[in-house]
Structure 1
Amino acid sequence: MIGIDKINFFTPNTYIDLVKLAKHRGIDPDKFTVGIGQSKMAVPTITQDTVSMGANAAFPILDKEDLEKIELVVVGTESGIDESKSSAAFIHQLLEIQPFAKSFEIKQACYGATAGLMMARDYIKTHPGKKALVIGSDISRYGLNTSGEVTQGAGAIAMVISEKPKILAIEDTSVSMTENIFDFWRPNYSDTAIVDGKFSNEAYVKFFNQLWEEFSKQTNYSLSDFKAFCFHLPYTKMGKKALLPLLENESEETKEILLKHYELSTEYTRNIGNIYTGSLYLSLMSLLDSSEHSLKANDLIGLFSYGSGAVAEIFSGRLVEGFENHLVNSTRQELINERQSLSIEAYETIFNKELPKTDGIHPLDESEFDNALFYLSSISNHERHYKKRQ
């Protein structure tokens, strides 16, 4: 039995209220809050990036035993900080994980963390007693006053994978699918993504339908076997577009439980935005952290991971006895509740800031907004340096 032993997320301390943003842009707020289902959007300062957010997500859940037994550190991201050096190498150092661990980065749009999870599962099968750390860390950027502005966000998730998981045991059968398409991409020379929104939505739904058909064939599962289905959520309404057609022929009981749990799984995304590689696992935490779910040990949960370009996967897991005792939901809720709401001016100023690209020593100070434990403190002759607040 291998699966998720511990799980956590991090999001920056600053956000923009989307009703405020809609009014400033001259848009009906309902288009944001109802149409796509978003309320708030995380806005990272230049001192929060893939490395610092990933370290901030992982640090609270790691104990001495984890640091000694982790032999694999995988970071899924499409917001890499270097064309060569992996963000995982930085994170390995910041977290003080034992030195004989392999650390690297995976890229395939929003699918990267799932690729890391599956790799970690396979690694632990052949290395009994060891653990893996899987991180998904990203900043979603489409630009100010663009059609994609409202679906931006920032954050990271971290999962400890072990052979005796305390939260979710991952089942062996999973089904993946790849198709080379241009629904969403970001060239090396661009700091914002290019997206064909309508095509991307259609591709997402198509992938889910085809994968579900094959997955149900291989496992003999029907939707009625599941107590919840968690989705990659670029915005909260996306997964529902894929799920609803499959529910048309299901019983009222199945519809009710899956739709109830779907709504609970969207709460964190609604208040953080799109965090790319971590999105699916953010929805899982949102579901498990809710006081309104009716989940219990051995309940089956489906998971749909989608990365534009495109690779997707459906897999499943069963909740472990006592899973509710191993969540840090109160801490996560505090993180969301204690964030600082930005003015439009502050939001646009933070968004437009750029890191220095010249030789020399460039200290960075965003302490007015950024109070996270780990942060990017300076760039010295093109080297990134991070600090841990005392």
Structure 2
Amino acid sequence: MNIGIDKIGFAAPNYVLDLADLAQARNIDPNKFKLGLLQSQMAVAPVTQDIVTLGAQAAQAILSEKDKEQIDMIIVGTESSIDQSKAAAVFIHGLLDINPFARSIEIKEACYGATAGLILAKTHIAQHPNSKVLVIASDIAKYGIASAGEATQGAGAIAMLISADPSILILHNDSVCQTRDIMDFWRPNEDKYPRVNGKFSTEQYTDCLTTTFAEYQKRTGKKLADFAAMCLHIPFSKQGLKGIQAIAQEDSKTLNRLTERFQEAIVYNKIVGNIYTGSIFLSFLSLLENSQSLKAGDNILFYSYGSGAVCELFSGHLVSGYQQHLQPDRLHTLNQRTPLTVEAYEALFFEEIQVDETGQAVDLPVDETDFALVDIQDHKRVYRKK
């Protein structure tokens, strides 16, 4: 049975910060961001936008009423959870009016969670061929004003409908995972922002890739030259490029080809920033919508990495007619976002919801987007769908 990605959608907040402006405000050479990170803009989410609203928006863009009837599982991969108990998938299930007889769960393992969701969805479809699974990767990366990771922040969500006989990508049965108990990036409950050992984390990202790829080759017999393109987790775009260089350094022809495809695969990541669990799938969407070289049948290699650390290599091939299920004007839409000054970004992105002694939100801003957090009552989050 062929199982894979039938539809894919994306949502980002309507605000954006130019990293050249951020560099000027922080007295940093703009090329440190533009060339050193390969990042140029950052999506900025207001307090009324979170993983629920962004995830619902990404899914709403691709789902038909028939899809909502057939979906019997919703999986949200995130590390930006808004509740220690209730899954974001449950909120999204209600906002989208999906079939009530569905399983709704949330998966956490740093930036790897949505990939785990994808593999679980594939296993579920294998057992229930007529069902569909909605996998959502939704995150807001926030490190603090003037922090070392400030320029790599971002916000957004990817939604993928997984089914039998998919219209975009058929997943192969070749996954290879690796787990390492390390502390390269972690988020203690008592801390507002993540803790990061930056140099160690980038080293682990690359070493996990090279060692897992060696095991992948041993198990599958596949070579890097067998793939038309490679999509990687993109904490910042330069890191993904270094990953490709690390495993393709001895094959210049393949390296050049994969590098060309990689530049197409980071068009969106460069202007959205890090969206944690969704970064690898945003890169895949960017590749599909910006490459003129891909064709049906092409094999794509994926490298998912979540700090802590869990990584996975897997692959798939493109389905005939996949181009008809994309949004070719997405870059134009992203370019219509509202630009922010550095001062406005600091006020918007780092605003915190104030709750009084009764658990009621105080002076929550009005948000006119399709999905928004509109209130907190007795410590319960209240969302609105337009």
Name the TM-score class by shorter chain.
over 0.9
TM score, norm. by length of structure 1: 0.96
Q: Deviations over 1:320-345 (max 9, x none)?
A: 01001111232x32431110010111
Letter in 1 for 2:376: I
* 8 Å Cα contact 2:17/2:345 also seen in 1: yes
Q: CA deviation at 1:362?
A: 2.7
Asked whether the 8 Å contact 1:59–1:95 carries over to 2, the reply is yes
Q: What's the CA shift string for 1:123-163, capped at 9, x where partnerless?
A: 00000110000001001011001111111110110000000
Corresponding residue number in structure 2 for 1:300: 299
C-alpha distance in 2, partners of 1:102/1:219?
Answer: 33
In 2, the alpha carbon distance for the partners of 1:7 and 1:191 equals 32
Further displaced range: 7-16 or 358-367: 358-367
Confirm whether residue 388 of structure 1 aligns to residue 360 of structure 2: no
Residue equivalent to 2:316: 317
Shift of 1:361: 3.7
Letter in 2 for 1:114: T
Q: 1:188 to 1:329 in 2, by over 3 A?
A: farther
Distance 2:298 2:363 in 1: 47
What is the match of residue 148 of structure 2? 147
Would the alpha carbon gap of residues 22 and 169 (structure 1) be closer, same or farther in structure 2, given more than 3 Å must change?
Answer: same
Report the secondary structure of 1:160's partner residue: strand
Cα deviation 1:351-385 (Å, max 9, x = unaligned)? 23111233254376545xx5531111111111111
Percent sequence identity over aligned pairs: 48
Residue type at the aligned position of 2:268: Y
1:15 Cα shift?
Answer: 1.2
**Pair 1:168-2:169 in alignment:** yes
Kept in 2: contact 1:364–1:376 (CA 8 A): no
Deviations along 1:50-84, one digit per CA (max 9) or x if unpaired, are 10010011001000111011011000000000011
- Equivalents in 1 of 2:223, 2:159: separation in Å? 30
SS of aligned partner of 1:173:
coil
1:161-209 deviation digits (Å, cap 9, x = unpaired)? 0001100000011000101100000011112111000000000000000
What amino acid is the match of 1:304? Y
Retained in 2: the 8 A contact 1:186–1:193? Answer: yes
**Which structure 2 residues correspond to residues 268-307 of structure 1 after superposition, within 5 A?**
268-290=268-290, 292-307=291-306
Matched, 1:373 2:365: no
Contact kept? 2:244, 2:255, Cα under 8 Å:
no
Counterpart of 1:244? 245
Spell out, residue by residue over 1:270-319, the C-alpha distance to the aligned partner (whole angstroms, 9 max, x if none). 000000000000000010000x4301111000000000000000000000
Evaluate the alpha carbon distance shift between residue 226 and residue 364 of structure 1 in structure 2; reply closer, same or farther with a 3 A threshold.
Answer: farther
* Aligned partner letter, 1:225: D
C-alpha distance 303-364 of structure 1, shift in aligned 2 (>3 A): farther
Give me the whole-angstrom Cα distance separating, in 1, the residues matched to 2:282 and 2:59: 14
Q: Tell whether the 8 Å contact from 1:12 to 1:372 is kept in structure 2 after alignment.
A: no
C-alpha contact (below 8 Å) 1:140/1:275 kept by paired residues: yes
1:263 counterpart residue number: 263
- Please list, as runs of the form range in 1=range in 2, the aligned pairs for 1:1-390 lying within 5 A after superposition: 1-252=2-253, 254-290=254-290, 292-330=291-329, 332-358=330-356, 359-362=358-361, 366-367=365-366, 371-389=368-386
Superposed displacement of residue 350, structure 1: 1.0
Give SS of 1:216's match: helix
Distance in 1, matches of 2:304 and 2:126, equals: 22
Q: Which amino acid is the alignment partner of residue 286 of structure 1?
A: S
Give the conservation status (yes or no) of the 8 Å contact 1:287–1:293: no
Q: Using the alignment, how far apart are the partners of 2:180 and 2:340 within structure 1?
A: 40
**Higher deviation after alignment, 155-164 or 349-358:** 349-358
The alignment yields a C-alpha RMSD, in angstroms, of 1.2
TM-score by length of 2: 0.97
Tell whether the 8 Å contact from 1:13 to 1:371 is kept in structure 2 after alignment.
Answer: no
> In 1, distance between residues paired with 2:100 and 2:362?
29
Within 2, Cα distance between the matches of 1:235 and 1:119? 27
